[in-house]
Structure 1
Amino acid sequence: MSTQSKKPVLAISNLTVDFETATGTVNAVRGVDIHVNAGETVAIVGESGSGKSQAMMAAMGLLASNGHTGGEVIYEDRNILGLPVSKLNAVRGRKITMIFQEPMTSLDPLYTIGRQLAEPLVVHGGLSWKAARAKALDLLKLVNIPEPERKIKSYPYEMSGGQRQRVMIAMALANDPDVLIADEPTTALDVTTQAQILDLLADLQKRLGMSVIFITHDLGIVRRIADRVYVMKTGEVVESGETAAIFTRPAHPYTRMLLDAEPTGHKLPVPDSTPVLLEAQKVKVEFEFDTGFLQPKHILRAVDDISFSLRKGQTLGIVGESGSGKSTLGRAVLNLLPAGGRVVFKGRQISGLDRAAMRVLRKDMQLIFQDPFGSLSPRMTVGQVISEGLLVHEPALTARDRDARACQALEEVALDPAMRNRYPHEFSGGQRQRIAIARTMVLKPELVVLDEPTSALDRTIQKQVVELLRELQKAYGLTYLFISHDLAVVRAIADTVMVMQRGKVVEAGTVDAIFEAPKSDYTRELIGAAMLTQQQMMETA
């Protein structure tokens, strides 16, 4: 971490962002000043809804249509804020690039990964399509995508969340930008891959002299990579300074609260006499991929003969690197994709049931997705999104009853019910995840598969959500299959843990057994990477 020059390569002054909504004007960013010097890494931290992402979206000219901005964004001695799109496009995507928090909103589902990586190299870099494809392959290797020669032909839906995020990083770095704005770029990544990506960004920054603005809620990352820190709260910068000073001598109470936030607690295992709610026997999922004309198809076994049982009220945490098969397993047990083996729910075999037969069970078996923005309709208000399931599963409810249930669900996830008339794009990533949780919980299911439900949330909100999930579990007897790469969250919420690698279970047991006495080298590697971040945080206390 070094500052090569005191002249800002990008200077944001008195930036304001306002959104016009059905309930009035929302002042998302209020008079913010941020700058980054050449070769410097600046971190912007704060809770979900603090305005950190919206400030950078405004600087890039990427606000939603109901957003308005003021102030100045100075790059190369001119204000780029408000430039016509034709002139702005000469800067963004080439000189200033951005890695978005939710990759599925940025990757076109109709084009291969290779095509999408090559396009900016052709448009902004002037390469031929042949040369661009060759460089795209190099970029996939650079960001440690497995089997890059095959993945370059893949579509976004064929990749895990972490792999999609790495593709976005490769795309942003394609034209060697002066400024890289990274909005939670490691959110979807497991701890080992996260460390690789951070090392990669640091290496590229050193080699290219690139400036980085790093938006994150993970203070362990900030401590590791940033030269300076801006702390934002409710649209304003409440504290800024050198990273070491912020972490060792925080001046603002809000900064101290962020540093102290960490999911805590310990869930006791359910008794062995508790009835089994879900049982999986030798579940396997295979995908076929074309390898070329007259070539045999490539078979990928994403889930390889996995068995487990889940008792009522139990929380089984499934951990592993991106691409380990944990999300695919979650969908397989819900019968959302073709799978071999046998799955039994409440004594009834559900594997092989058709869509009509499964419909009556869906209310009791719910899934919370990793990417909330991709699962929330942009054409519906939040209230409509949350109450949509009630129209299907509880049709006798009146419109007033559905609205009341939606308000209750929003309160349960610590959101103001008055927000129900807004649209998903008007919320931060963390707020959208809470909306997704509310949409599921409004149905009061028996089994919930939670696929990275806290990955987009800052630590303070993670802690609240973990406590919320515990309260809901206790109140309604819920059973959770909790998929996550965040070992701190898994340790706080689960009573049993299953560790996956390349589609197989490498270790399983109680939380205490897995975290205190792991048997496999892979489990020890995961825990070691997580403990490194925790140790960095403790060193600043």
Structure 2
Amino acid sequence: MTDKQTRRVLDIKNLKVDFETNTGTVNAVRGVDIHVNAGETVAIVGESGSGKSQTMMAAMGLLASNGRTEGEVVYENGNILGLSIRRLNQIRGKKITMIFQEPMTSLDPLYTIGRQLAEPMVEHGGLTWKQAQAKALDLLKLVNIPEPERKIKAFPYEMSGGQRQRVMIAMALANDPDVLIADEPTTALDVTTQAQILDLLAELQKRLGMAVIFITHDLGIVRKIADRVYVMKTGEVVEQGETRRIFTQPEHAYTRMLLDAEPTGHKPPVPDTAPVLLEAQKVKVEFELENGFLQPKHILRAVDNISFALRKGQTLGIVGESGSGKSTLGRAVLNLLPASGRVVFQGQQISGKDRGAMRALRKDMQLIFQDPFGSLSPRMTVGQIISEGLLVHEPSLTAKDRDARACQALEEVSLDPSMRNRYPHEFSGGQRQRIAIARTMVLKPELVVLDEPTSALDRTIQKQVVELLRDLQKTYGLTYLFISHDLAVVRALSDTVMVMKKGQVVEAGPVEAIFEAPQDAYTKELIGAAMLTQRQMMESA
């Protein structure tokens, strides 16, 4: 037998994770056994709330203060579960590293990307700051960050979600770890960049001989990269085995359900007689970027002369790579950042209006963020978070009425209303995204800009959320601007599609025309990458 088959580098034995909450004890992980061998890739899959992330957070000693663990986490013949912070820090960041699901919560907004990349190399790798800065630049190039010489001086808020995720991957690889734990590392990435990152991880794994534990809801990725798979449900491993066997001969009904889950169907078209709710004309967004001492400033045109019209009840899907300007465009039409051009909402021009003038319109124009954890206050309960907007926009409601509306909103997104007394850190990434959707929908807006609202969700929940968004749209006549890199979800939800690249629209039209007969080479590349993953899934079935 090979070394890869026999030498375990991380061995989790009978791990249990409980959280003490206001409503009692939550058993998040219930006696899980997981191991990974040297040079091996193990995938942990399951729905939101199945315990995937909490298992590995516990192994790393990163649970919230109300969490407690039992069991063993064996690394180098010693149990690291329960070690002091000082002892753990000698292992974390060097021997065992983790890429987190939500990069914005892991990156310090006050420090440049270069400083944050260099720090672990100085702390754990023994490099000087000058050496660490040089290696940080190499790492940015390695993970395909555009303009790395400029981005190394940037702050996290100046980068797209996908670019921030690539910075986290670079940081995790900085000290050549033995074990890399990747918690949904490609969630924020478009299909082409996702493929590049997966190839990069495979190349680095081969070169460094590191083990990878890959936590994901994307079964297409699992089939491509994993040697073995653990399937988790409600805190337990219900099935495990070699990847090919799991995909071709799944034994558990839950595994079969995961393999069959995929957003499907098409949105009924909106009649041409429907009134235009939102119109954008020649919208441009530019950012002034520092270019070093005594150097001229660099102008980045993030959105370049974009126009479109959106009828009431319609969904416009916007797709493109990370950094293409999708999210910036969404914020520009909501007048959340300075832009030139003209934006008209419900017949009145809103471009150029100040914050006070916009306040009355905010109830009808809502945004669901890409990063739910960063947008949910950790000091407020879920019930308080969801009902907060009602305090501003419907002040006449009583506390009892607000609570009732919060309960209804939670039910609409398939969450138990009794969860409203918990805090955001007690939920999985997918559950937090549904909470963010509930917070928006409780106001019953006219227009919702959805910025990657399903990116953190597994396929089964994505399918439910697609149906939920359709039902809410039909019931309340909602209009969506749907920003996503997930082409299957865009196709299932949209009337029309706009493809963006480097701030410009390269192709736009009805959803079926774009998917069935794309004209632009870039559109063909995006759809081709997505179709390849689908074909791999079908072949494995």
TM-score, structure 2 normalization: 0.99
Aligned match of 1:128 = 128
2:408 aligned with 1:384, yes or no?
Answer: no
- The change in CA–CA distance for 1:471 and 1:40 in structure 2 (over 3 A counts) is same
Aligned match of 1:210 = 210
Secondary structure of 1:299's counterpart equals: strand
Q: Which runs of 5+ in 1 are unaligned?
A: none
Secondary structure of 2:278's counterpart equals: strand
Aligned match of 1:327 = 327
In the TM superposition, residue 97 of structure 1 has moved relative to its aligned partner by: 0.2
> What's the RMSD between the two structures over aligned residues?
0.7
Secondary structure of 1:265's counterpart equals: coil
* C-alpha distance in 1 between matches for 2:9 and 2:112: 34
- 1:438-491 CA-to-partner distances (Å, cap 9, x unmatched) read 000000000000000000000000000000000000000000000000000000
* C-alpha distance in 2 between matches for 1:288 and 1:54: 40
In the TM superposition, residue 25 of structure 1 has moved relative to its aligned partner by: 0.2
Work out the number of aligned pairs and report it.
Answer: 540
* C-alpha distance in 1 between matches for 2:48 and 2:250: 20
In the TM superposition, residue 130 of structure 1 has moved relative to its aligned partner by: 0.3
Aligned match of 2:60 = 60
* C-alpha distance in 1 between matches for 2:293 and 2:42: 49
- 1:295-340 CA-to-partner distances (Å, cap 9, x unmatched) read 1100000000000000000000000000000000000000000000
Aligned match of 2:8 = 8
Aligned match of 2:190 = 190
Aligned match of 1:164 = 164
1:383-422 to structure 2, matched below 5 A, reads: 383-422=383-422
In the TM superposition, residue 5 of structure 1 has moved relative to its aligned partner by: 3.7
Aligned match of 1:478 = 478
In the TM superposition, residue 270 of structure 1 has moved relative to its aligned partner by: 1.1
* C-alpha distance in 2 between matches for 1:256 and 1:274: 42
- 1:30-53 CA-to-partner distances (Å, cap 9, x unmatched) read 000000000000000000000000
* C-alpha distance in 2 between matches for 1:227 and 1:185: 18
2:219 aligned with 1:219, yes or no?
Answer: yes
Partner letter of residue 219 of structure 2?
Answer: L
* C-alpha distance in 2 between matches for 1:56 and 1:152: 30
Instruction: Indicate the percent of aligned positions where both proteins have the same amino acid.
Output: 86
Aligned match of 2:43 = 43
Secondary structure of 1:231's counterpart equals: strand
Secondary structure of 1:304's counterpart equals: strand
* C-alpha distance in 1 between matches for 2:455 and 2:293: 40
Partner letter of residue 95 of structure 1?
Answer: K
* C-alpha distance in 1 between matches for 2:104 and 2:241: 34
* C-alpha distance in 2 between matches for 1:457 and 1:127: 39
Q: Which runs of 5+ in 2 are unaligned?
A: none
2:239 aligned with 1:239, yes or no?
Answer: yes
Aligned match of 2:86 = 86
In the TM superposition, residue 239 of structure 1 has moved relative to its aligned partner by: 0.2
In the TM superposition, residue 269 of structure 1 has moved relative to its aligned partner by: 2.5
Secondary structure of 1:124's counterpart equals: helix
Aligned match of 1:461 = 461
* C-alpha distance in 1 between matches for 2:8 and 2:419: 38
Partner letter of residue 469 of structure 2?
Answer: L
In the TM superposition, residue 225 of structure 1 has moved relative to its aligned partner by: 0.2
Contact preservation (8 Å) 1:11, 1:73:
yes
Query: Greater shift after overlay, 214-223 or 290-299?
Result: 290-299
In the TM superposition, residue 131 of structure 1 has moved relative to its aligned partner by: 0.4
Contact preservation (8 Å) 1:335, 1:351:
yes
* C-alpha distance in 1 between matches for 2:516 and 2:98: 39
Contact preservation (8 Å) 1:5, 1:39:
no
Partner letter of residue 316 of structure 2?
Answer: L
Aligned match of 1:258 = 258
* C-alpha distance in 1 between matches for 2:389 and 2:274: 29
* C-alpha distance in 2 between matches for 1:269 and 1:162: 32
2:149 aligned with 1:149, yes or no?
Answer: yes
2:340 aligned with 1:340, yes or no?
Answer: yes
Secondary structure of 2:302's counterpart equals: strand
Aligned match of 1:516 = 516
Secondary structure of 1:14's counterpart equals: strand
In the TM superposition, residue 3 of structure 1 has moved relative to its aligned partner by: 7.1
Secondary structure of 2:82's counterpart equals: coil
Partner letter of residue 116 of structure 1?
Answer: Q
* C-alpha distance in 1 between matches for 2:209 and 2:216: 22
TM-score, structure 1 normalization: 0.99
Partner letter of residue 77 of structure 1?
Answer: N
- 1:175-205 CA-to-partner distances (Å, cap 9, x unmatched) read 0000000000000000000000000000000
Aligned match of 2:314 = 314
- 1:69-95 CA-to-partner distances (Å, cap 9, x unmatched) read 000000000000000011111111100
Contact preservation (8 Å) 1:117, 1:170:
yes
Secondary structure of 2:141's counterpart equals: helix
Aligned match of 2:428 = 428
* C-alpha distance in 2 between matches for 1:107 and 1:315: 33
* C-alpha distance in 1 between matches for 2:296 and 2:271: 49
In the TM superposition, residue 406 of structure 1 has moved relative to its aligned partner by: 0.1
- 1:465-522 CA-to-partner distances (Å, cap 9, x unmatched) read 0000000000000000000000000000001000000000000000110000000000
In the TM superposition, residue 207 of structure 1 has moved relative to its aligned partner by: 0.3
Contact preservation (8 Å) 1:39, 1:211:
yes
Secondary structure of 1:64's counterpart equals: coil
* C-alpha distance in 2 between matches for 1:293 and 1:391: 47
* C-alpha distance in 2 between matches for 1:93 and 1:7: 22
Contact preservation (8 Å) 1:269, 1:510:
no
* C-alpha distance in 2 between matches for 1:291 and 1:443: 43
In the TM superposition, residue 292 of structure 1 has moved relative to its aligned partner by: 1.5
Contact preservation (8 Å) 1:240, 1:246:
yes
In the TM superposition, residue 267 of structure 1 has moved relative to its aligned partner by: 1.1
Aligned match of 1:33 = 33
1:298-313 to structure 2, matched below 5 A, reads: 298-313=298-313
* C-alpha distance in 2 between matches for 1:96 and 1:118: 17
2:537 aligned with 1:527, yes or no?
Answer: no
* C-alpha distance in 2 between matches for 1:528 and 1:133: 37
Partner letter of residue 522 of structure 1?
Answer: Y
Partner letter of residue 127 of structure 1?
Answer: L
* C-alpha distance in 2 between matches for 1:480 and 1:100: 29
2:299 aligned with 1:296, yes or no?
Answer: no
Partner letter of residue 58 of structure 1?
Answer: A
Aligned match of 1:97 = 97
Partner letter of residue 161 of structure 2?
Answer: G
Partner letter of residue 471 of structure 2?
Answer: E
Partner letter of residue 388 of structure 1?
Answer: E
In the TM superposition, residue 145 of structure 1 has moved relative to its aligned partner by: 0.2
Query: Greater shift after overlay, 398-407 or 263-272?
Result: 263-272
* C-alpha distance in 1 between matches for 2:9 and 2:120: 22
* C-alpha distance in 2 between matches for 1:521 and 1:250: 38
Secondary structure of 2:125's counterpart equals: coil
Secondary structure of 1:82's counterpart equals: coil
In the TM superposition, residue 273 of structure 1 has moved relative to its aligned partner by: 1.2
* C-alpha distance in 2 between matches for 1:341 and 1:13: 59
* C-alpha distance in 1 between matches for 2:35 and 2:344: 56
- 1:270-289 CA-to-partner distances (Å, cap 9, x unmatched) read 11111000000000000011
Secondary structure of 2:366's counterpart equals: strand
